[in-house]
Structure 1
Amino acid sequence: MLGSQPWLRSARYDGWLILAPPFAALAVVALLPATYRQSAAFPLLAWVGVVLLIDVAHVYGTLFQTYFDPQQRQQRRRLLLLVPLGCYAGGVMLHAAGSLVFWRALTYLAVFHFVRQQYGFLRLYGRSEAPVSGAWLPSTLIYAATLYPLLYWHLSPPRNFNWFVAGDFVQHDWPLGRQLATSLYVALLLAYAIREAWLYTHTRYFNLPRNLLLAGTGVSWYAGIVLYNGDLAFTLLNVVAHGVPYLALVWSRRPAGAAGRGWWAGRYGLALFLGAIALFAFLEEGLWDGLVWREHGAVFGWFQHLPPVAAPSVLMWLVPLLALPQSTHYVLDGFIWRRARRA
């Protein structure tokens, strides 16, 4: 029997918006033409839907748990001031040491954030479980489900996708290392399956959301990085499995009844929330495209009137500034969810 389940909001809400996204993304990837699963091809419309409206937009969800929340502004005033200042100063110093140095540091910070989000959800779904034999296995497996594909990536030749820019990961082709990592991962999966079977036999309880989270994390990270070698496949599986649950968590934690924040609970609250983060994402990416990348002029036509910046002395100040929403999001998220994860 399943028994009472530790849903964060409800079975329907958690099921559709937190647990289902990696499986839905995998289904979409499986239906893609083979070229999109094994190449760097990335259609513009897919870029808008996945990168702009999910990946970049979800970063701004943090605003609604921090800077747009009067109570959080009061309680965390020093943190909310020092984090962006520190991120920008650190970004400028890193970029001064080299463009790739900056992007590599930002990449590993992003990876840490992505991995820790999955661990945070695991803690939430295991918050009511009593300590039992092998209690270390779920936490170990959630880290392995993310770190094994990343290790495989590091030990592979260059892939058809990057995290941010070409060369942002340190890579060394080592087939034996990939085989060893795979063997250890499979052994851990078997150990976890045996533990769950033993627990169910003795307690007749099965933690459905925790196991769905582990399964979704495992299949999305493995398929996106190891099984497939396509930019669109990787981005779909990486972004959808991360961004959609994050926004669902932000929305579920909205303080609808608090004074001065009643718009969350209004009829158009959800539309305003999604519209705001989409607008912020559009403005950010427009500035990136107009000033630096010049890759999506069809989407950011007005921004093409901006002067492109190529001087390293200017990029050293500009790039960390444009990346500040991301770096601040990565760092702040290490603080704002701590209390929720201990609940």
Structure 2
Amino acid sequence: MQVLVTGGAGFIGSNFVRHLLSETTVDVTTLDALTYAGSKQNLEGILDNPRHTFVEGDIRDKELAQRLVTEADVVVNFAAESHVDRSINDSSHFVSTNVEGTQTLLDASRHEDIERFVQISTDEVYGETLTGEFQEDDELNPRNPYSATKAGADLLARSYYTTYDLPVVITRASNNYGPRQHREKLIPKLITNALNGEHLPIYGDGTNVREWIFVEDHCRAIRFLMSNGKNGEIYNIGSGEELQNKDVAEKIVEAVDASPDLIEFVEDRPGHDQRYALDTTKLRNLGWEPTVPFEEGLKRTVRHYTSQK
């Protein structure tokens, strides 16, 4: 089997490529434009793997996308602009990559006999919820430009299932953390700052709640759904472990033996969602469960960034 992984030099994508190469016998082609969030360093040690081919390029390149999709049995689309703050400052790149790029891949795929197109999405498409958990059929209510473009890509992908019978599966995961995440994201930023004795900036009063899943658990879920998901369906992926941002900062300070005084509350960002939480019953009923508790995953993440210091 040949799997095309777009955005495979980014955080989750590179971990997924590693997962496929270590846990399966499939051949993998990684496509990545190597923008600020993607780096060949994330693929260090597997670039020369005989089952792995790296291609530098953009998912919006129609000719390239068509060529690579033609060679693939499965397409897993991680490629996306993903930082909320950047989308608030300028959403144009998010619309172009997240929506138009997904359209390019979908168009290339509908002309081929692929087994599955996995669209990687986010829990942020649902918006915020102060109580309860989002289910897959809940209304979409994205509240920032990033999540709006991901919601648009989800709807586009599902329409290709309905219109063209393309074997699409959509996954929506909670917040990921783990090795190789870009240092502008919350957990790696806080770890790096704490290791350097710098302030740990926390938006608002720090009570915003996120559900955290270790990236390896997310990768296991995606691989599981490549084989066990149902075409046209959406699956939430989460751990059930919710933490306030200030609690995450306190755990990181403790993990690196830094001073709690480094935690600094700063002006909140516009449209900051208060809480995300996912109902993952649909996926768990198929037989998948998370295996890495937050405490263990955080220790492994701290070790990674400590070694990179």
Q: TM-score, normalised by structure 1?
A: 0.24
Normalized per residue, the structure richer in strand is 2
Larger radius of gyration: 1
